[in-house]
Amino acid sequence: MDIRIVAVGKIKQNYAKEGISEFSKRLQRYCNLEVIEVDDERINNNLSQKEMDKIKKTEGERIISALDGRAYTIVLDPNGKPMSSEGLAKSINNLQVQGYSSIEFVIGGALGLHENVKKAADRLLTFSHLTFTHQMIRLILLEQIYRAFKIKNNEPYHL
């Protein structure tokens, strides 16, 4: 199984880098993990709605160009459908049974995602109604993917 994460921006905080590195190592046992970072746009204070839309569109174009047309695409979005860890494990298993060998997850930038990215998704997923930085959500996503594989393989996962 190939897991791809397409994310806007680079990870800057050391604590996030360390956590992401740890879960990336743990996932090697279960899947081929690839993280694609697309450039984020500079965000100034007091942006107009038009300027925010332009930034989201530019970042969205970068995301769409990085997507693999054969993969099942799950976009993380606050308005997506929530799912439990067990539900994610079941979804990954079901996608494999359906013949998907690649799943890609998309994480937007600080301003969110352009509608074109959401339209390109096979599924919109939310982890919470709380707001997280795109850097923190990458760590949470990797932990949840790892947890899903542990559940899927009937291994203990409360570690």
Which residues does the annotation place in the binding site for S-adenosyl-L-methionine? 76, 108, 127-132
* Separation between Cα atoms, residue 141 and residue 123, nearest integer Å: 15
Which two three-digit tokens encode residue 104?
């890609």
What residues are paired with 5 via a beta bridge? 35, 105
47-72 burial code (b ≥16 CB/10 A, e <16): eeeeeeeebbebbbebbbebbeeebb
Binding site members = 76, 108, 127-132
